[in-house]
Amino acid sequence: MLIKRPDDIFPSEITPEGLYLRRREFIKTGVGLVGLAAGTTLLPEAAHALPKPVPPFSTAKKSPLSTTGETLTPHQDVTNYNNYYEFGTGKADPSRRADTLQTRPWTVSIEGLVKQPKTLGIDDIIKLVPLEERIYRMRCVEGWSMVIPWVGLPLASLLKQVEPLGSAKYVEFYTAVQADNMPGINRRYLDWPYIEGLRLDEAMHPLTIMAVGLYGEALPNQNGAPMRLVVPWKYGFKGGKSIVKIRFTDKEPRTSWMKAGPSEYGFYSNVNPEVDHPRWSQAKERRIGEILKRPTLMFNGYADQVASLYTGMDLRKNF
């Protein structure tokens, strides 16, 4: 598989000025987190019983797989314009209501066609491998897009914790249902729990990550805390939020959106300017912060890295 390495670029060129000027805030937030964690571990009685402090998200190493040459979407917009239907269908509903989401304790079970199913605590997942900053474009099926500096780990490194059987062909992702904390759950727009899925090779692809943070901080609830899937060449809804279960299967998963609208949402849902949503065009998108629309790129601009996954497939049929 061909993985195109981005051109070398000076950090000053990729960091927007506003963010650069606020770098001390980020460092402070990070230090605050360490301080908090350290504070708890320094309690004399509990010192040995408690797990090691969670590494600060702000020190995540910059990944060479990050998208370069794009202006980051402001933090304010990334965290206030969200689709998280469990909290309502309005774009501002999640940021207004998701503070009720309980993100600790949190476990993720990895099961299905594996040799040894496992249940991992979220804080152990965060410490599994060094966290990376991944700057990715995010294209929503509705026709808008953002550029988000995620913090996370390759999904592959999480999946390798269990040994998938040879019969495993797909990976299914289940997101949290907290009926008492999620005002949207009573409305049956979608079949809860929200289910998403990937083919095994898509899931193992180096661009696919589990995000646990963004902008150098822990993932805000409205963005899918404590851990959400990010598959940058697919429409945003493929990135299930607040994931609690990962299941290896031999059958193509039937996702929540496929159940809601089989003619409108397919399993693959790769960003493709040539394959329209039945009701609207996908040729253009409005980047948040811009006035006019810009052309949508094939595989959201990640064609060099992922097009080979779909060689020989009719992308119109496999939409």
Partner 1 sequence: MSPLFKRWQPNQRSIALIKLTLFTICLWPLARLLLPFYASVTGDLVLGFSGDELGANPIEFIIRDLGTWALNFLLITLCVTPLRKLTGLNWLLRLRRMLGLYAFFYALLHFNIYLGLDQSYDWAEIAKDILKRPFITVGMLTFALMIPLAVTSNAAMIKALGGKAWQKLHMLIYPLTICAVLHYWWLVKLDTTQPAIYAALLAVLLGARLLGRWQENRTALRSAA
- CA separation (Å) from 183 to 72, 225, 228? 31, 17, 20
The helix (H) or strand (E) run that includes residue 128 is none
Q: Does 319 bind partner 1 (CB under 8 A)?
A: no
The helix (H) or strand (E) run that includes residue 75 is helix 75-78
Q: Does 291 bind partner 1 (CB under 8 A)?
A: yes
Least separation in angstroms between residue 234's CB and partner 1 is 17
Per CB under 8 A, the list member of 36, 38, 46, 92 interacting with partner 1 is 92
Least separation in angstroms between residue 11's CB and partner 1 is 26
Q: Does 190 bind partner 1 (CB under 8 A)?
A: yes
Interaction with partner 1 in 122-151: which residues (CB under 8 A)? 141-142, 144
Q: Could you tell me the two tokens for 257?
A: 């959106």
Angstrom distance (rounded) from CA 28 to CA 307: 41
Those residues with Cβ within 8 angstroms of residue 273's Cβ, 6 or more apart along the chain or in another chain: 282, 283, 284, 295, 296, 297, 298
Q: Does 276 bind partner 1 (CB under 8 A)?
A: yes
Nearer to partner 1, 174 or 237 (CB): 237
Per CB under 8 A, the list member of 32, 38, 189, 316 interacting with partner 1 is 189
Q: Does 186 bind partner 1 (CB under 8 A)?
A: no
Q: How many residues bind partner 1 (CB under 8 A)?
A: 27
| Cβ atoms of 130 and 61 closer than 8 Å | yes
Nearer to partner 1, 18 or 289 (CB): 289
Interaction with partner 1 in 32-91: which residues (CB under 8 A)? 76-77, 80-81, 85, 89, 91
| Cβ atoms of 2 and 205 closer than 8 Å | no
Q: Does 280 bind partner 1 (CB under 8 A)?
A: yes
Q: Does 286 bind partner 1 (CB under 8 A)?
A: yes
Nearer to partner 1, 63 or 145 (CB): 145
Helix-, strand-, coil-residue percentages of the chain, each rounded to 5: 25, 20, 50
Least separation in angstroms between residue 143's CB and partner 1 is 8
Q: Could you tell me the two tokens for 95?
A: 């940021």
Nearer to partner 1, 283 or 309 (CB): 283
User: Nearest CA to 292 among 140, 143, 149?
Assistant: 143
Q: Does 195 bind partner 1 (CB under 8 A)?
A: no
The total of other beta-carbon atoms located within 10 Å of residue 14's CB is 20
Q: Does 260 bind partner 1 (CB under 8 A)?
A: yes
Give one DSSP letter per residue of 235-263, joined into a string: -GGGS-SSEEEEEEESS----HHHHH-TT
Nearer to partner 1, 234 or 247 (CB): 234
User: Nearest CA to 172 among 82, 275, 272, 258?
Assistant: 258
Least separation in angstroms between residue 173's CB and partner 1 is 19
Least separation in angstroms between residue 252's CB and partner 1 is 22
In 253-309, which ranges are continuous DSSP H helix?
256-260, 303-306
Q: Which residues bind partner 1 (CB under 8 A)?
A: 76-77, 80-81, 85, 89, 91-92, 141-142, 144, 187, 189-190, 260-261, 276, 279-281, 283, 286, 288-289, 291-293
